[in-house]
Structure 1
């Protein structure tokens, strides 16, 4: 490709054409242009998904094809696995709550859904709740609380992993409550927890704040209960047989 054509591609923001035009098979000029531009769009989509996945900051790389669905996951009557993976809950600003003991796949499924959301062009953020508490308190102490809250204005899905494993300080609980209030009916949440809602007061020491937070979280939520033995424990026991 000539330098002039490369400059034209740059001006038109065709990021991939200069690299791929020579590999496009064609029978006529119209078919060539169509195939070339379709490939440009495909590569743009892949590049965008990669950027979104990086920004989400998942702790593990988990995808839906690697997730093992089982009867141990109890769905609400209005939802099943087929509907879940379509991600309509994000478009409707609804929440997902995954409850159950450790090792049952809650984080895997939450991460996989987040990964799929990135593939479909949604902005996602992933936080382990204990880490988020530290970030919130640091932002408040450094006078960057407003700046931190503004980061979520264009975010479509926030994943809060391991709610309940570590209690919050009073300040941390209040800051998280403010964030969830911001996200209410504006941003979808996926929350994983080993605690039932009645036990969330172990995490948030203020009963009134706990009740208000739970009310916002479950108002537009689908609750999935994970039951049975830990996959990690089951795998370890099977290796000993």
Structure 2
């Protein structure tokens, strides 16, 4: 490709044409341009997905295709695994609550949905809840709370992992409540927890705040209950046999 054509591609923001045009078979002008621009769009979408995945800051790479559905995952009557994997609930700003014992697949499913959302061009953020509370407290101490909360303006889905593993102090609990209140009916949330809602008092200590938080979280929510033994423990025991 000539330097002039490279310059035109740069001006038109055709990032991949320069790299791929020689690999496109030529049958006629229309076919060539159609395949060339289809490839350009494909690579753009893939690059965007990678950027979104990086920004989401997942703690591990998991996909919906590798998730093992089983009879120990209990769905509400109005939704099933096929419907859930369409991830249409995100567009409706509905929440997904995954409760159950550690090691039963909650984080894998939450992450898999997050990856799928990124592939579809949606903004996602992944947080361990304890880390988010610490970040909120730091932002508050540094007088940057408004700036921190503003980071979520364009985010479509927030995944809050491990709700209930670490209790919060009074400031952390109140700040987290304020943030989730900001997101109420504006964002879609996925929350994983090893505690039933009736036990969230252990985390937030204030019963009135806990009740108000649960009320916001479960409104417009799909609640899945994971039962059975930990996959990690089961796999470790099977290796020892």
Task: Mark yes or no: TM-score above 0.5.
Answer: yes
Deviation per residue, 1:37-63 (Å, 9 max, x gap): 000000000000000000000000111
Deviation per residue, 1:185-206 (Å, 9 max, x gap): 0100000000000000000011
Q: For this pair of structures, how many residues does the alignment match?
A: 241
Structure 1 partner of 2:81: 81
State the alpha-carbon separation in 1 of the partners of residues 224 and 201 from structure 2: 20
State the alpha-carbon separation in 1 of the partners of residues 53 and 16 from structure 2: 20
Matches within 5 A, 1:1-241: 1-241=1-241
Deviation per residue, 1:119-178 (Å, 9 max, x gap): 000000000011111101000000110000001011000000000000011000111011
1:25 is displaced (CA, Å) by 1.1
State the alpha-carbon separation in 2 of the partners of residues 94 and 148 from structure 1: 23
**What is the RMSD of the two structures over their aligned residues, measured on CA atoms?**
0.6
State the alpha-carbon separation in 2 of the partners of residues 26 and 190 from structure 1: 47
State the alpha-carbon separation in 2 of the partners of residues 112 and 120 from structure 1: 13
State the alpha-carbon separation in 2 of the partners of residues 45 and 161 from structure 1: 27
1:237 is displaced (CA, Å) by 1.7
SS in 2 for 1:45: helix
SS in 1 for 2:104: coil
Q: What stretches of structure 2 of length at least 5 have no aligned partner?
A: none
1:26 is displaced (CA, Å) by 2.2
State the alpha-carbon separation in 1 of the partners of residues 41 and 78 from structure 2: 35
TM-score normalised according to structure 2 size: 0.99
State the alpha-carbon separation in 1 of the partners of residues 97 and 205 from structure 2: 21
4+ residue segments displaced more than 6 Å = none
